[in-house]
Structure 1
């Protein structure tokens, strides 16, 4: 009996190849599912994005609220907007 040279063992390379292709497809499916479910919400959305711009950050919202309440002067408000880098 010749191991690896007969009909019984000669097709194992094909089985191994099919297993590797199956694993690659499974990983690709998982990555696609995570991306479609919104798994990239924590990433920076400002670079290379062609979609709509995100709304104001929480820091900007607080700044707007403080300005509206009269806690900041117009000059202070504008300075803080520059610091935040959120000019409108």
Structure 2
């Protein structure tokens, strides 16, 4: 009788493998939802960086910014800056 009681306590009173399997799956689903929720929250709070995507308008502005930075650093002179800026603006 003592042996039956110990076995019953150890194995959950006959619930068997199905109970432990369902608990394991439930635990994995729970933590999976937690991870997905945290990722969704980070993306929502952080937002997307649409300004970094290349395009006709964003790319044009970025090219002019790079040109202006090179001119400010002294890598190109006045004539080169004006020539390249005009080239950028005519080839939109």
Structure number having the greater helix percentage: 2
